[in-house]
Structure 1
Amino acid sequence: MKRISDIATIGFALFAMFFGAGNLLLPPFIGVQVGNHVWITILAFGLTGILLPFMGILSVTHSGDSFQDLGTRIHKNLVPVLGTIIMICIGPLIAIPRTAATTFEVGILSSFPESNPIWTSIAFFVVTWLFSIVPSKVVDLVGNILTPLLLVLLTILLVVGIVNPIELPKEGELSTMGSFTLGFTEGYQTLDVLASVIFAGIIITAAKSKGYNSLKEKNKVVIAAGALAAICLLFIYGGLIYLGASSGVHNPDIKRSELLIHISQSLLGQYGTIAIALSIALACLTTAIALTSAVGTFFSNLTKGKLSYKFLVTACCIVSGVLSITGVDNIIQFAYPPLAFVYPIVITLVLFVVIFGRFVKSRLPYIGALIASTIVAVLNLLKILGVWDEQQLSALNHIPFFDYELGWVVPAFVGFITLLLVEKMRGKKL
């Protein structure tokens, strides 16, 4: 019974860490655009929003106890470079400000139209700071108290929307493949793959603190908790995409926050605003607490204590608070280029360690895969920024799946296999 209880606590905490502002706002907005292509879109969004984050957890458990162990397995300089990029993205630059901005636009502004985002931001980050300042309490607080309430509120909304939809999903403008591509790429905006390799260390530490110290016991608890979080995410994401598709809204230019408010009010009436406000506050607060704690821990360890955990948490809250007042849509629009760059690199690291980690111990093949995916990520970033002309874009589209933003897949595999064969020819031990 104790193990089941511990798995539930850690699993619910992990779900809440993952399920933040983007996770609540993105799926309904995707549903509006895909219309009746709901199932293929849920599959695509689930790949980048659920399966890959779960594999991120696995990649860390296969390598040690933290992202530092995962990165060092490939190269000693990977942790400070890639780790810093990840932490800035999921920390004060994008993810944490987005949680406060979402809380204001959906949770506060709908009920108090004259509210000032500055005061909301201050209050939000004061609470975040208070809960983050003692990192050992984060998992139990989130898993035992905040997440169950969040799940209950969201489940009520989803059940009502599925049983009694506003209207049945209609055929949208996107094709089946277009819907798949949209779901897949929008899954990047959840930031969960990036967060997974960091959150893994938090839940591994939590498992150890509950007495699961052997490698076998620790991995069993962590993997089971990850599976529980994935099941919860699939239910919530799938339901929210369906709510968007059946919302009766067909304007793709609607603000994400306005869409969510429309859905909740249409389904639950006057209580919908209260329910969604509480859901938003809980989802955003739990994620902000976890991310702020992760940022403080990572950079404190990286600087070997020269920058204290408390100082870093405080600085993270201040920077995030300032950026949060720019608004959700502006943050999401700004986030896409850096995420499109870093995501293929992290996905390559995660996938290749999980798939080949037990058989290929040498570092060189993984370095080859990461170099290849980084090159393609740079090319895709330049495409997003509008650097290439039509002729150059046509040439780039000869890279398999490049036009679907999956151009890194084949080059990464070729880079891995090439350097693996080179080492074999040299007679090195794998």
Structure 2
Amino acid sequence: MNQNLKLTDIIAVGFMLFAFFLGAGNIIFPPMAGQLAGENLLPAMSGFLLTAVGLPLITIIAVAIAGGTWDHLTQSLPQRAATAMAVLIFVIIGPAFAAPRTGLVSYEMAVKPFITDAAQTDLTLFSVLFFAVAMFFAWSQGKLIDIIGKFLTPALFVGLIVLSVGVFIDPQGSALAPQGDYISQPLTTGFLEGYNTMDTFASLMFGMLVVDVLRKKGVSDTRSTTRYLIYAALIAAAGLAFVYISLFYLGATSGELIGGADNGGVILSEYVQALFGPSGQLVLSIIILLACLTTAIGLVSACSDYFCSLTPLSYKTWVIINGVACATVANVGLSQLITLSVPVLFALYPVAIALVMLTLTRRFLASAEQAYRAVIVVAFLFALIDAAKVAGADVTLFSFLPLFEYGMGWLLPTVLTLVGMFFIGTKPETSLTANVSQ
């Protein structure tokens, strides 16, 4: 069987992955962060790019190295723990937070501006329609490359290029003084802001979805799958970096035009209308709808693919279940959804990062099984402290932890535990005996 893809298919896979990533959070958070960072744009943007581009790229590579499946990625964890972690992540990026957010942002930024006296029923009707369309496209996994990579994403990219060129050629103001935490710690604040994109979580799942799509295209051997997955990750990372840099600059130059905005969606909407005039909202609506729809398709498909592997229900049945759940949760409201998601992200993001670190350093560990258990537990326990702090709990008892004030008290204990596991632990004798007998 031919294990090679044509160049156009490789680009299409990369575009598909880029489109999966580029959704609601990727569009609404950078403008807000850029405005708050102001003159500290470069360090804040660098921190954001580390978590929103660097970590997803490394995670996709880790997924490729691990063999492209969740089972391979978590092979050194107890099966129940690995399954529980996967279910939590899929629920977060699926029906609980990330997927409904795509519908909410689409409504708030692309549809609501055209509705006079918008009401809750308008959001409900739009949510049903939006996720019905997402379910329709997610119905056939084998056609995802053709639908998204070759048609929807190029249209999206053209719109983003028009927006980016306009922002750099005709900025609507100059950078103002930084605000809040961006005054004293722009790099770490930007780093933590990148959590909101949820793309490290998504990378764990989208990598596996791309592997499945490649197999349906006839690519099945491990070496070819790994190579094409890395190519796709590099294309997606380049596209994301291009978009984030543009949106950060847009936000940094928006202070004089739209000062004190509540969220990045407002900044982006007002800025685009100032830049392109009355037609600006139409340009923005097209970009938002395409970006959010492609991400919703990817999330619904990835979640359905995983949950059907755990249950007797078919993939298409799970597409319906996830689509209905997303449409229901989307009616909670954007601000409430973001507020609820932040503590959860602070609790679980470090765990995902720890899993990637373990995958990349696996060959150096004295005992992979013991290391995975120790590092994941340490990352999760210390991340809970940061999550409690973000949720408003009094955790000053732990203020002695390095980087605690920056919301990264989990980092040093996790890294030290990982380094320690290079030297601590022994290989199980049973596995050695089994290898000899083979």
Same fold (TM over 0.5): yes
Give the letter aligned to residue 416 of structure 1: L
Secondary structure at the aligned position of 1:36 is classed as: helix
Distance of 1:426 and 1:211 partners within structure 2 = 38
The CA deviation at 1:254 is 2.5
Equivalent residues of 1:27, 1:241 under 8 A apart: yes
Question: Of 258, 266, 273, which aligns to 1:258?
Answer: 266
2:314 aligned residue (308, 317, 326): 308
Q: Find 1:188's aligned residue among 173, 187, 195.
A: 195
Q: Distance in 1 between matches of 2:334 and 2:425?
A: 48
2:155 to 149, 153, 161: 149
Aligned-residue offset at 1:426: 9.7
Amino acid at match of 2:266: E
1:340 aligns with 2:343: no
Q: Which amino acid aligns with 1:221?
A: Y
2: CA distance between counterparts of 1:154 and 1:24? Answer: 11
What are the superposed Cα offsets for residues 355-387 of structure 1, whole Å, 9 maximum, x if unpaired?
x12333622112211111111011122222333
| 8 Å contact kept, 1:367–1:416 | no
Partner AA of 2:226 in structure 1? N
Aligned twin of 1:226 = 233
Give me the whole-angstrom Cα distance separating, in 2, the residues matched to 1:318 and 1:425. 47
Q: Which amino acid aligns with 1:251?
A: G
- Secondary structure of the equivalent of 1:158? helix
SS in structure 2 of the partner of residue 213 of structure 1: coil
For the residue of structure 1 that corresponds to 2:363, the secondary structure is: coil
Aligned AA (2:308)? S
| Aligned-pair CA distance for 1:217 | 1.8
Map Cα deviations across residues 7-55 of structure 1 (whole Å, 9 max, x no partner): 2011000000000011111111111111011111221111110111111
* Structure 2: segments with no counterpart, 5+ residues: 433-438
Tell me which residue corresponds to 1:214.
Answer: 221
Is the Cα contact below 8 Å between 1:42 and 1:241 reproduced in 2? Answer: yes
Query: Kindly tell me: are residues 211 and 313 of structure 1, through their superposed partners in 2, closer, same or farther at Cα, counting changes over 3 Å?
Result: closer
Aligned equivalent of 1:131 = 137
| Number of the residue aligned with 2:435 | none
Instruction: Give runs of aligned pairs for residues 66-105 of structure 1, distance below 5 A.
Output: 66-105=69-108
Name the amino acid aligned to 1:346. Answer: A
Give the direction of change, closer, same or farther, for the CA distance of 1:145–1:249 in structure 2 (3 Å limit). Answer: same
The answer as to 2:374 corresponding to 1:372 is no
Q: Which amino acid aligns with 1:338?
A: V
SS at 1:74 equivalent? coil
1:203 paired to 2:206 = no
Code of the residue aligned with 2:105 in structure 1: it is T
Structure 1: distance between partners of 2:420 and 2:363: 19
Of stretches 319-328 and 147-156 in structure 1, the one that deviates more from structure 2 is 319-328
| Equivalent AA in structure 1 for residue 368 of structure 2 | S
CA distance in 1, matches of 2:257, 2:383: 34
Q: Which contiguous aligned blocks of 4+ residues in structure 1 show a shift greater than 6 angstroms?
A: 425-430
Change (3 A) 1:5 1:173: same
Aligned to 2:175, which of 169, 172, 191? 169
Counterpart residue number, 2:436 = none
Q: 2:64 aligns with which of 61, 66, 72?
A: 61
Unpaired stretches in structure 1, ≥5 consecutive residues: none
Q: 1:167 to 1:364 in 2, by over 3 A?
A: same
Whether the 8 Å contact between 1:364 and 1:420 is mirrored in structure 2 is no
Q: How many equivalent pairs are there?
A: 423
Quote the Cα distance in structure 2 between the aligned partners of 1:425 and 1:130.
49
Q: Is the 8 A contact 1:14 1:226 kept in 2?
A: yes
Q: Does 1:244 align with 2:251?
A: yes
Change (3 A) 1:315 1:42: same
How far apart, CA to CA, are the structure 1 residues paired with 2:85 and 2:173?
45
Partner residue in 2 for 1:285: 293
For residue 347 of structure 1, report the CA deviation from its aligned partner: 0.7
Q: Take 1:416 and 1:75, find their aligned partners in 2: how far apart are those partners?
A: 18
Report the more deviating stretch, 279-288 or 328-337: 328-337
Following the alignment from structure 2 to structure 1, what is the Cα–Cα distance between the partners of residues 257 and 407?
28
CA distance in 2, matches of 1:20, 1:335: 16
Question: In the alignment, which residue of structure 1 is the partner of 2:279?
Answer: 271
Whether contact under 8 Å (1:49, 1:193) holds in the other structure is yes
CA contact (8 A) 2:362 2:368 kept: no
Please name the residue that 1:422 is paired with: 424
Q: Distance in 2 between matches of 1:426 and 1:213?
A: 32
Q: Cα deviations across residues 224-264 of structure 1 (Å, max 9, x unaligned)? A: 11001000100100110100111134634423322211011
Distance between the aligned counterparts of 2:124 and 2:158, measured in 1?
A: 30
Deviation track 1:199-229 (CA, whole Å, cap 9, x = no partner) reads 0011112223333333222211110110010
**Structure 1 stretch 58-67 or stretch 231-240: which is displaced more?**
58-67
Q: 2:364 aligns with which of 359, 363, 367?
A: 359
Letter in 2 for 1:83: A
C-alpha separation between the residues in 2 aligned to 1:176 and 1:426? Answer: 51
**Mapped partners of 2:31, 2:346: distance in 1:** 21
1:201 partner amino acid? M
For residues 146 and 352 of structure 2, the distance between their equivalents in structure 1, rounded to whole angstroms, comes to: 28
- Kept in 2: contact 1:40–1:176 (CA 8 A): no
Rounded Cα–Cα distance in structure 2 between residues aligned with 1:378 and 1:401: 14
The normalised TM-score by structure 2 is 0.92
Shift of 1:307: 2.3
Aligned identity (percent) is 29
Counterpart AA for 1:334? L
- Quick check: 1:157–1:268 contact (8 Å CA) kept in 2? no
SS in 2 for 1:217: helix
Whether the aligned pair in 1 keeps the contact of 2:23 and 2:292 (CA below 8 Å) is yes
CA drift at 1:397: 2.1
What's the CA shift string for 1:134-162, capped at 9, x where partnerless?
A: 22222321111111111110111111111
Q: Deviations over 1:51-85 (max 9, x none)?
A: 11111111111111222321224332233110011
Q: Distance in 1 between matches of 2:404 and 2:17?
A: 32
Q: Which residue of 2 aligns with 1:381?
A: 387
Rate the CA distance shift 1:426–1:107 in 2: closer, same or farther, 3 A: closer
1: CA distance, partners of 2:429 / 2:183: 48
